[in-house]
Structure 1
Amino acid sequence: MNRFYVFNGDADGVCALHQFRLVDPAAANLITGVKRDIKLLDRVEANPGDLVTVLDISLDSNRKGLMRLLEEGVRVEYFDHHHAGEIPQHPNLTAHIDLSADACTSLLVDQYLKGKFHLWAITAAFGDNLVQKARQLGATAKLTETEIDQLARLGEYLNYNGYGDNLPDLHFHPTALYEEIRPYANPFDFIAESNAFRKLAEGYQDDTSQADSLQPLTTDERYAAYLLPDAPWARRVSGIFANKLANAYPQRAHAVITPNHAGNYTVSVRASLTNPCGADVLCLQFNTGGGRKAAAGINHLPTGSLDNFVSSFKQHFCS
């Protein structure tokens, strides 16, 4: 039997993979990409009886690839919290899907593994901007405030690394970042000892300092939209900047719009923290859009559709 892990390249996907691999480090095929590269099951070439574990990518976006694998006799276990659509009823599929606003894939894996590597799940929750949930979990785990803050920074840095229009935009290929994390069962050891952590911290500080000087394209008390420049730093920081805005202005919804290499825009949307829903509904109105209730996005928004998106965004979150 061949083993495959198909995982999102952001904090949640990498930390979910890490938890599984700490339990079972046997040889496996790893398939991933940048955070927005989610149609990953099309790349899986498996044989009947093989096992594919899918982590943190939308089932609905991968339905065609999933059904192909299931019909070919491949066993698939699916862990995710994004828009799923109708979940197929198939004997080869085991689905662990939770669309709740305070769910993330690493927390689902944490439940499945009975908390064996709980600190990595808390790290991922911070990375997915589930800040209140993550802090509650940290307190329950009897972490100090300093330790909770350390995991918060680590989660942000791991998530930051996943953003980019293509792999050269990133500081680390997601598989390479996982390899840096792999020796560490405890995230505090990774923080203390890893050069990768220091590289991400430096990149994060440099990129966010540039983003902090940006002015919104449009704003009022209920929403704000930002148009970032066409630059690698902007593509790297887009998701983190959206999370930072959401935490700074919890009553507002936010959209961060960034030019991509295809000549279109990539959009990150965050619903307000006081009413964390509706981001997925908005983005699913546009081709290549998707996500979850609190946070969603559009991979390729045509430049000519910018005004339509901004108008829809304002109308969607105006009440």
Structure 2
Amino acid sequence: MHYDVFNGDADGIIALLQLRLAAPKESVLITGVKRDINLLKQVDVTKACAVTVLDISLEKNNEALQALLNNQVEVFYVDHHRTGDIPKSSSLTTLINTDANICTSLLVNDFLQGQYANWAIAAAFGDNMQASAKALAVKQGLTEIEQTQLNELGIYINYNGYGASIDDLHFHPAKLYQALLAYPDPFTLINEQGSLFWQLKQAYLTDMAKAQSAEVISDTNRVKTVQLADEPWARRVSGVFGNDLANQAPDRAHIVLTLNKSDNSAEASYTVSLRAPLNNKQGAGDICAQFATGGGRAAAAGVNALPVSKLTEFIKQVERYYQP
């Protein structure tokens, strides 16, 4: 049995989309909301013969990966997040690059020698890798209008992946991926009236309009911190809103907070999205990894449950890291 394990954001979905458009394969799909990255443990070691892993941190899935390798399961691992120690095994093939300007879909695009480059461009835009997306778009000879369309598509697919649970999302990431398989050319999807592109666009615009009223917690020349309401729409836009803020002020880091639902037995906590300054895309993953439930990559990272009492410390850490 083959398993495809992938992040539920634009990069994870589109990385798998490219691979399966190029080489269709019957597989068990394992995915979830964007922040659900401990996915590899869901693979049944006793049934798996091969596993493809896309856009989830090897560092966070090392134990489950080792269990698969110990059982001689063939694993193809493609990612751009923190790795930790990479196991040495003849059963493991890796395509990993943690450079801040590389995403998983761009790695897959290189692997496939550009067979579905337009999809890779959409994914790079969705991961807010503007320069990388535009460079590939120019290489493809795309017009400004076409670049704008792929930018929107990537953002909307990425937006769909954010939420505390699947119930917060408009489409389950696995079903969204399966629907996109019908469109080898993303422009066919964009030009189809009433398609997923248009459905997600309307939902995105509605939610982002609400985000403009976000409460500003702190605002300095290095870091801006905002808090969104404790609502499903806020959890959906937490990441893309952070990207939007980063694009507006590329010399500053941005922190977006949403309050987590919790029972009375635990301290209240925030879901945190951290965006490094676009002009200094480093450190976000390292900062977040210092806190329990935190991690990510150099340019964009987060903490799934930052205790409210730790917020001031977190902001200070970000301020300290990005001081001149």
Query: Does the TM-score normalized on the shorter chain lie above 0.5?
Result: yes
The aligned amino acid for 1:73 is Q
Verify: 1:199 aligned to 2:207, yes or no.
no
Give yes or no for the alignment of 1:133 onto 2:132: yes
Deviation at residue 231 of structure 1 after TM alignment: 0.6
Write out aligned runs for 1:237-256 (5 A). 237-256=237-256
Shift of 1:86: 1.5
Deviations 1:208-261 (A, max 9, x none): 111122242111121111111111111000000000000000010111111123
8 Å Cα contact 2:256-2:273 kept in structure 1: yes
- Deviation (angstroms), 1:90: 0.9
Pairwise CA distance, 1:27: 1.2
Report the CA distance between 1:48 and its aligned residue.
Answer: 7.3
The offset of 1:277, in angstroms, is 0.4
Q: Which sections of structure 1, spanning at least 5 residues, go unmatched?
A: none
Which stretch shifts more, 255-264 or 100-109? 255-264
CA distance in 1, matches of 2:181, 2:45: 24
What SS does structure 1 have at the residue aligned with 2:257?
Answer: strand
Indicate the SS of the match to 1:216.
strand
SS at match of 2:315: helix
Partner of 1:230: 230
Show CA shifts across 1:139-187 (max 9, x none): 1110010000000000000000000010000000001111221100000
Deviations 1:235-292 (A, max 9, x none): 0000000000000000101111111234421111111011110101110110111111
Question: Please, which runs of 5 or more residues in structure 2 have no aligned partner?
Answer: 263-267
CA distance in 2, matches of 1:121, 1:168: 27
| Alignment TM-score, normalising by the size of structure 2 | 0.95
Does residue 182 of structure 2 align to residue 183 of structure 1? yes
The alignment status of 1:316 with 2:321, answered yes or no, reads: yes
RMSD of equivalent CA atoms: 1.2
Number of residue-to-residue matches in the alignment: 318
Equivalent residue number for residue 77 of structure 1: 76
SS in 2 for 1:84: coil
- Relative to structure 2, which stretch is displaced further, 120-129 or 21-30? 21-30
CA distance in 1, matches of 2:13, 2:280: 28
The 2-side partners of 1:145 and 1:21 are apart by 28
Match of 1:290 among 286, 295, 311: 295
**More deviation, 308-317/177-186:** 308-317
Normalising by structure 1, what TM-score?
0.97
